[in-house]
A and B are shown apart, each in its own frame.
Chain A
Amino acid sequence: MDLSFTPSEQAFRAEARAWLAANVPPGPYPSGDTREGYAWHVQWEKKLFAAGWSAVSWPAAYGGRDASLIAWLIFEEEYYRAGAPARVIQNGIFLLAPTLFEFGTEEQKERILRPMAAAEVHWAQAWSEPEAGSDLANVRSTAERVDGGWRVSGQKTWCTRGAFCDAIYGLFRTDPATERHRGLTYMMVDLHQPGVTVRPVERLDGDESFAEIFLDGAFVPDRDVIGQVHQGWKVAMATTSSERGLSLRSPGRFLATTTRLVDLYRRHPDPALRDRIADVWIQARAYQAYTYQTVTRMMAGGGIGADSSLNKLYWSELDLQTHTLALDLLGPQAELLADAPDAVDHAEWLLGFAFALAGPIYAGTNEVQRNIVAARVLDLPRG
């Protein structure tokens, strides 16, 4: 055990910190979940990519830096410490890309990864359907075999930033004789074609970043199938494991938020809340320690598996506690929107609270995560 950073890890951190200090634009930023804001964020993503910071742990051949997972965690810590813009391309680089690295063909990696990291082609996840929320295996969308590929039909929903994206990835039933998690195939679908209708859905915070996507015979060429036909469930589980476990919500995010909470306390002190402030600050650092331990294991060849559900429970509940506490500190200012004259920190705590409320829902509800941990980590009998 050596919890100090190596000279090369320290040099990497210094380089990232210096670049971010020189390049992160002054806030506040527009929301990346509106059409105009998304366009602004894409320009930032292009700048990140040009400097080689978009996906540091990827091979250089695809626009990364061949950085270790430890270095990636360091970059994330520095990124959030600098208060840099939220990553609007995260559902590509952090969710689809790990799947391509594990199951994709060379042709797919060559074709897809670099434009993804360069924010030239924009990717949205398309897991949920009206009848497949927590019960993802209840997918009803179908794919019918045709010459050179598949014709897909059905409805996908809650596709984050789907209204601004070029393509989606998700599961389609390729074997009509099957049920549940058998007979599904993991596919990528181009949204710019006949047979695709994208309808934005307003979220409770007023942004239009949700989308419903209606598919009516849209074409998916064979080259856009990831992994084996009918083996999509296995491929998808690899992605959801990344999403819950590590890549989507690295510790840097919560280290930064809890540090900003301490700063908020200095401006809005309330001695009755000291214990809770210390508690969330400690938990963010526990998540960091746990993650360095996990990554050390992964670098030695280990996996995450169902432990990723524990991560998801921990960060989502911590994030909600943290933002709830911030609103408690703010008292009468808690409800103010950014354009209110008395708004504190551009209302970021209220917006953060609204977003934190989604944490226990997205990426698989926390109730489902607890079921997964019960079955697969504690080996309890299934109900």
Chain B
Amino acid sequence: MHFAFTEEQQQIGDAVRDALADACPAGVVRAAWAAPDTAVRSLLADLGVLGLNLPEAVGGLGLGMVDAVLPLTEAGRAAAPVALVETIATNPTLAAIGEADLAAQVATGEAFVTLRAPGGYAVDADRAALVLVVEGDRVGVVRAPRLVAQPAVDGSRRLFAVEGDVEPTDADGRELLDRAALAAAAQLVGLSHHMLAMAVDYAKTRRQFGAPIGSFQAVQHHLVDALLRVRFAAPTVAQAAWHVDAGTAEASLQVAMATSLAADAASLTARKALQVHGAIGYTFEYDLHLWMKRAWSLSAAWGDARAHRARVADHLLGAPDA
């Protein structure tokens, strides 16, 4: 038992963090609401993140989900306006369904593949070379989708309803959805860290009653409650990633656990960060809502906390009607 990221994994995470701190400040996140981002996606391609879990034969790094956790967390921290969940989730599927040429283009950022969430929508489907869907327990491919735009609360998430003929494949649908949920969970940890940091900074500088509001216990305890949930969610994300990479029998259960905790942590942190900011946090001009809206979206798109807990409950207690 050794529960720590390697030095190399941490270095990749740090590199992504530093690069995004420069290239993806809040203004870039905000600008992506008006004009879809290409620059940040291209940066992530240059850093190797887009092909992180593609085989080296197609220009990827040949790494796994554990390696992806910190880059995903950092993309979340920066609220990078990039559909990274979709890329990290679908990469191994592309290899499995024989789309090697397309995979090579994904690694360089020339092409993008999206994934329709179960019962939901596909991000950036109008820009996608391929839309993957999960039907039953298998992955299907929609090559000529009919798309209907579905404007969403996070203006950088360009959602589309997808219809069209589904070409069946043998690729495993559960594993694909688990990778998506896990990638979302890692981003939610990063989003939470940033929202908490914003609220802590604000509480240190904003003065009322002659003192920084961060010196008041009622305010402090809001922030500690958020920290508590984030701290205890983060290791379960790493743990689930390890189980996915190792292909253990409990991998899907571990993903359900991690996603439920990360989604709850992000929802609570968004709520607490807004409360600590007060009215300024409620404005469109202030940046907090960019992070909150991403958190709301990602904590529901791939199964919300309750849906993932229901999976755990089925495992523990049997099906509800049994």
A-side interface residues toward B, CB under 8 Å?
Answer: 1-6, 9, 70, 262, 265-266, 269, 271, 274-275, 277-279, 281-283, 285-287, 289-290, 292-293, 295-297, 300, 307, 310, 313-314, 367, 370-371, 373-374, 377-383
Q: Which of A5, A265, A274, A383 contacts B310 (CB 8 A)?
A: A274
With CB as the reference atom, state the residue of chain B lying closest to A70: B1
- Residues from chain A with Cβ under 8 Å of B236 in the complex: 282, 285-286, 289
Given A287-B232, A380-B200, CB of A277 within 8 Å of CB of B313: yes
Output the least CB separation between A251 and chain B (Å): 11
- The answer to whether the Cβ of B96 comes within 8 Å of any Cβ in the partner chain is no
Q: Which of A2, A6, A281, A289 contacts B312 (CB 8 A)?
A: A281
- Whether A296 and B309, one on each chain, are in contact in the complex, defined by CB atoms closer than 8 angstroms, is no
- Residues from chain B with Cβ under 8 Å of A274 in the complex: 310, 313, 317, 320
- Whether A1 and B227, one on each chain, are in contact in the complex, defined by CB atoms closer than 8 angstroms, is no
With CB as the reference atom, state the residue of chain B lying closest to A374: B220
In angstroms, Cα B312 to Cα A279, docked, is 9
Output the least CB separation between A198 and chain B (Å): 36
Output the least CB separation between A10 and chain B (Å): 10
- Whether A381 and B2, one on each chain, are in contact in the complex, defined by CB atoms closer than 8 angstroms, is no
- Whether B238 and A290, one on each chain, are in contact in the complex, defined by CB atoms closer than 8 angstroms, is no
- The answer to whether the Cβ of B90 comes within 8 Å of any Cβ in the partner chain is no
- The answer to whether the Cβ of B208 comes within 8 Å of any Cβ in the partner chain is no
Q: List 17 A-B contacts (CB under 8 A).
A: A1-B66, A2-B2, A3-B2, A265-B316, A271-B320, A279-B309, A285-B257, A287-B232, A293-B4, A310-B227, A313-B224, A367-B217, A371-B217, A373-B228, A383-B216, A383-B217, A383-B220
- Whether B224 and A373, one on each chain, are in contact in the complex, defined by CB atoms closer than 8 angstroms, is yes
- Whether B232 and A290, one on each chain, are in contact in the complex, defined by CB atoms closer than 8 angstroms, is yes
- Residues from chain B with Cβ under 8 Å of A293 in the complex: 3-4, 235, 238
Given A265-B317, A380-B215, CB of A282 within 8 Å of CB of B309: yes
In angstroms, Cα B1 to Cα A70, docked, is 7
In angstroms, Cα B269 to Cα A3, docked, is 28
In angstroms, Cα B260 to Cα A199, docked, is 48
- Residues from chain B with Cβ under 8 Å of A4 in the complex: 1, 246
- The answer to whether the Cβ of B120 comes within 8 Å of any Cβ in the partner chain is no
- Whether A286 and B233, one on each chain, are in contact in the complex, defined by CB atoms closer than 8 angstroms, is yes
- Whether B4 and A374, one on each chain, are in contact in the complex, defined by CB atoms closer than 8 angstroms, is no
Pick the most buried of B204, B216, B217, B239: most chain A CB atoms within 10 A of its CB. Answer: B239
Interface mask (B208-241 → A, CB under 8 Å = 1, otherwise 0):
0001101111001101110110011101101100
- Whether A377 and B1, one on each chain, are in contact in the complex, defined by CB atoms closer than 8 angstroms, is no
Q: Which of A3, A262, A283, A377 contacts B317 (CB 8 A)?
A: A262
In angstroms, Cα B211 to Cα A377, docked, is 20
Q: Which of B220, B239, B261, B309 contacts A378 (CB 8 A)?
A: B220
- Whether B220 and A380, one on each chain, are in contact in the complex, defined by CB atoms closer than 8 angstroms, is yes
- Whether B204 and A3, one on each chain, are in contact in the complex, defined by CB atoms closer than 8 angstroms, is no
- Whether B223 and A380, one on each chain, are in contact in the complex, defined by CB atoms closer than 8 angstroms, is yes
- Residues from chain A with Cβ under 8 Å of B228 in the complex: 310, 313-314, 373
- Whether A378 and B5, one on each chain, are in contact in the complex, defined by CB atoms closer than 8 angstroms, is no
- Whether B4 and A296, one on each chain, are in contact in the complex, defined by CB atoms closer than 8 angstroms, is yes
- Whether B1 and A9, one on each chain, are in contact in the complex, defined by CB atoms closer than 8 angstroms, is yes
With CB as the reference atom, state the residue of chain B lying closest to A383: B215
In angstroms, Cα B217 to Cα A367, docked, is 9
Interface of chain B: mostly helix, strand, loop or mixed: helix
Given A371-B217, A378-B220, A383-B216, CB of A1 within 8 Å of CB of B3: yes
Q: Which of B9, B215, B242, B316 contacts A381 (CB 8 A)?
A: B215
In angstroms, Cα B203 to Cα A253, docked, is 37
- Residues from chain B with Cβ under 8 Å of A373 in the complex: 224, 227-228
- Residues from chain A with Cβ under 8 Å of B235 in the complex: 286, 289-290, 292-293
- The answer to whether the Cβ of B306 comes within 8 Å of any Cβ in the partner chain is yes
- Whether B223 and A286, one on each chain, are in contact in the complex, defined by CB atoms closer than 8 angstroms, is no
Q: Which of B4, B203, B215, B310 contacts A278 (CB 8 A)?
A: B310
With CB as the reference atom, state the residue of chain A lying closest to B214: A380
Among B263-322, those with CB < 8 Å from A are 306, 309-310, 312-313, 316-317, 320
Interface mask (B147-163 → A, CB under 8 Å = 1, otherwise 0):
00000000000000000
- Residues from chain B with Cβ under 8 Å of A265 in the complex: 316-317
Given A3-B1, A285-B236, A300-B4, CB of A374 within 8 Å of CB of B224: yes
Q: Which of B233, B242, B309 contacts A3 (CB 8 A)?
A: B242
Q: Which of A2, A282, A307 contacts B260 (CB 8 A)?
A: A282
Pick the most buried of A278, A281, A290, A381: most chain B CB atoms within 10 A of its CB. Answer: A278
In angstroms, Cα B211 to Cα A243, docked, is 34
- Residues from chain B with Cβ under 8 Å of A379 in the complex: 200, 204
With CB as the reference atom, state the residue of chain B lying closest to A262: B316
Output the least CB separation between B24 and chain A (Å): 25
With CB as the reference atom, state the residue of chain A lying closest to B321: A271
In angstroms, Cα B240 to Cα A83, docked, is 28
- Residues from chain B with Cβ under 8 Å of A286 in the complex: 232-233, 235-236, 257, 261
Q: Which of A275, A287, A377 contacts B313 (CB 8 A)?
A: A275
4 cross-chain pairs, A with B, having the tightest CB-CB distances, nearest first: A374-B220, A278-B309, A278-B313, A380-B214
- Whether A281 and B4, one on each chain, are in contact in the complex, defined by CB atoms closer than 8 angstroms, is no
- Residues from chain A with Cβ under 8 Å of B309 in the complex: 275, 278-279, 282
Interface mask (B1-37 → A, CB under 8 Å = 1, otherwise 0):
1111110010000000000000000000000000000
In angstroms, Cα B312 to Cα A262, docked, is 12
Output the least CB separation between A319 and chain B (Å): 14
